[in-house]
Amino acid sequence: MSVPETTETNGAETKEAETKGVATLKPRGEDRVRGGHPWVYRSDVASVQNAEPGTIVEVRGPRDRMLGHALFSDQSQITIRMIARDETTIDDAFWRARLEAAIRFRDSLQINATAFRLVHGEADLLPSLIVDRYDDFLVLQALSQGMDRLTATLVRLLVEITGARGVLARNDPKVRRLEGLDQKVELLHGEVPETVDVREAGITYTVDPWHGQKTGLFLDQRENREAAARYARGRMLDCFSYNGGFALVLASRCTSVEALDVSAEAVDRITRNAIANGITNLTAREANVFDELRHLERDHARYDTIVLDPPAFAKNKAAVSNALSGYKEINLRALRLLNPGGILVTCSCSYNVDESMFAGAVFEASADAGVAVTVVEKRMQGRDHPVLLGVPETYYLKCLVLRKLA
Ligand SMILES: C[S@@+](CC[C@H](N)C(=O)[O-])C[C@H]1O[C@@H](n2cnc3c(N)ncnc32)[C@H](O)[C@@H]1O
C-alpha cells in the first residue's frame, strides 16, 4: 500500500463540496485560529449561519476577515475544526491530497511492520479522523460530525489510494457522543475478517479489529516496544500488557516474562500470540496491577525489567490529581520490585497529564522508594502518530526508559 508521488484526480468524481455556511468568530476565536490551533470552542464563536451539522463552513473573523474553512459541529464544545486556512475549494481533490500526503509520509518512514497509523487527525490536517492499517485492511474512526458526514467520500478515496480489501468503521469511542453521534462498528467497504494477522518487530500478532481495544492494537507504542527491547534482560514483568505488545517483543531478550492484564480476553490473546510465535518463557495472568504489585512486593519478588503501560488515568482535567497519585503508586511499587541496575519502562497516555507532571510523579515515586534513577531515554508516541506543534492535545503518550541505580 504505497502512494505514487502524484495521483491523477478523476475529474468525473471531483465535485464541489457543500461549502455553504459561514461561522463568524469572536476576537478570541480569531486569535486562536491565527495562532495556529485548529479548534474553536462554542464560547468563541459569535454566530453560525446556514450550516447543517457536520457541514463545511467558511470561517470569518469579527471584522469579516476570511480565515479559512472548517468542519462545523452543532453539538460539541469544539464548534469549529479548521481544515484549511485559505480560500481553497474543499472538494474531492482536496481530500485526496490530504490523504495522500498522510499516507506518503508513512511510506517515507519505512515502518518495519504491517500495522501502523495512516492518518492521525489534526496532525495530518484531517481533524478528528483516524485511519489505521492492519495488513490489507483499514480501520477508520470518524470522531466529529464533519468527518462522519464525509465518511463515504473518505472511504472511496482511501480504497482508491491504498487498494484496501476492506474498511471497517470503529466508531465506538465515547467521544462521538459529545458530537451527538451514535457509537457503532460497521463494515464500510469490502470485507474485514474477524481476525487479521500482522507483523511487528519480528512478532506476529493476531488482531481482532472488530472488538479489540482502540482499533485492535496499541500502534502508538510500536517504536517504544522496539526501544525497550534494547535494554530488556533477566526477569521481566509487563504490567497492563493487553495483547502482549511489550512482553512478546522483549521475551527473546529476557530469561522469563510475566504479563498482567485485568482483561481475560487480553490474557487469552497474549497466551495464544506467545504460542503462535514459539515463545516459551512467557506466562500471562489476569490481575489488577494495583493489587498484584502489592502482592509481589509482599512476596519479595524481584525483576530486572518492568514495563508500566496503564490506560489513560486522567480522561479529563478533574481527574489529574487522582491520576498523578495512581502513576506515583505504580511507579513506586515497580521501583521497589526492580533489582539495582534494572530497567523501568514507564508510560502515560493521558494528555491531561503533561510530560513534566508525569516526570514529577515518577520522581516522587523514586524519592519515596529511596532510590536514585537515571533517565536513559525520553520517548513519545510513534512517528506515525505525529504531534502538531502548538496543539498540546496531540501529544498524549509519554514513555520514560529509566535505570535504577542503588
Ligand atoms: C495502554 S493498554 C496497554 C497496551 C500494551 N502495553 C501494548 O503495548 O499493546 C492498557 C491495558 O491495561 C489494562 N488495564 C486497565 N486497568 C487495569 C488494571 N487495573 N490492572 C491490569 N490491567 C489493566 C487494559 O485492559 C489494557 O489492556
pLDDT tens for the chain, residues 1 to 406: 544 443 333 333 434 455 579 999 999 999 999 999 999 999 999 999 999 999 999 999 999 999 999 999 999 999 999 999 998 999 999 999 999 999 999 999 999 999 999 999 999 999 999 999 999 999 999 999 999 999 999 999 999 999 999 999 999 999 999 999 999 999 999 999 999 999 999 999 999 999 999 999 999 999 999 999 999 999 999 999 999 999 999 999 999 999 999 999 999 999 999 999 999 999 999 999 999 999 999 999 999 999 999 999 988 888 999 999 999 999 999 999 999 999 999 999 999 999 999 999 999 999 999 999 999 999 999 999 999 999 999 999 999 999 999 7
345 Cα–ligand 1 center, Å: 14
pLDDT of residue 376: 98
Looking at the DSSP bridge assignments, the partners of residue 189 are 167
In terms of DSSP H, where are the helices of 110-259? Answer: 145-162, 222-229, 245-250
Nearest CA to ligand 1 atom 6: 241
Fold: same for 19-84 and 218-404:
no
In sequence order, the 6+-apart residues with CB closer than 8 A to the CB of 312 are 348, 349, 350, 351, 396
pLDDT of residue 214: 95
CA distance 391 to 406: 39
Nearest CA to ligand 1 atom 12: 240
Topology classification of domain 218-404: Rossmann fold (3.40.50)
Ligand 1 atom closest to Cα of 242?
27
Pocket of ligand 1 (CB under 6 A): 213, 218, 221, 240-243, 245-246, 260-263, 266, 288-290, 309-311, 349
75 Cα–ligand 1 center, Å: 31
Ligand 1 atom closest to Cα of 312?
1
Encoded amino acid at 349, one letter: C
Give the mutation target among 262, 325, 379 for probing the ligand 1 site: most ligand atoms within 8 A of CB: 262
CA distance 213 to 269: 12
CA distance 102 to 2: 11
Ligand 1 atom closest to Cα of 217?
9
CA distance 259 to 250: 11
Give the mutation target among 213, 217, 241 for probing the ligand 1 site: most ligand atoms within 8 A of CB: 241
Ligand 1 atom closest to Cα of 225?
8
pLDDT of residue 1: 52
CATH number of 19-84: 2.30.130.10
- Residue 289 has a CB neighbour count (10 Å cut-off) of 22
pLDDT of residue 200: 94
Nearest CA to ligand 1 atom 17: 262
239 Cα–ligand 1 center, Å: 7
347 flagged as catalytic: no
Q: Which three cell numbers stand for residue 259?
A: 504479563
CA distance 279 to 70: 50
Contact 170, 140 (CB under 8 A): yes
Domain ranges of the chain: 19-84, 92-196, 218-404
In sequence order, the 6+-apart residues with CB closer than 8 A to the CB of 207 are 115, 134, 195, 196, 197, 198, 216, 217, 243
pLDDT of residue 10: 38
CA distance 140 to 169: 5
CA atoms within 13 A on the CB side of 12: 0
- Rounded to a whole number of angstroms, the CA Rg of the chain reads 23
CA atoms within 13 A on the CB side of 71: 28
Q: How far lies 60's CA from each of 24, 86, 183, 193, 382, in Å?
A: 5, 11, 32, 45, 35
CATH number of 92-196: 3.30.750.80
CA distance 56 to 172: 24
pLDDT of residue 19: 54
Nearest to 100 by CA among 51, 146, 157: 157
- Using a 10 angstrom Cβ sphere, with 0-12 exposed, 13-18 middle and 19 or more buried, the burial of residue 212 is buried
Nearest CA to ligand 1 atom 25: 263
Q: How far lies 3's CA from each of 97, 118, 151, 178, 316, in Å?
A: 11, 11, 20, 34, 38
Nearest CA to ligand 1 atom 20: 288
- Options 239, 254, 347, 349, the catalytic residue: 349
Q: How far lies 183's CA from each of 117, 186, 209, 277, 350, in Å?
A: 21, 10, 16, 35, 22
Ligand 1 atom closest to Cα of 263?
25
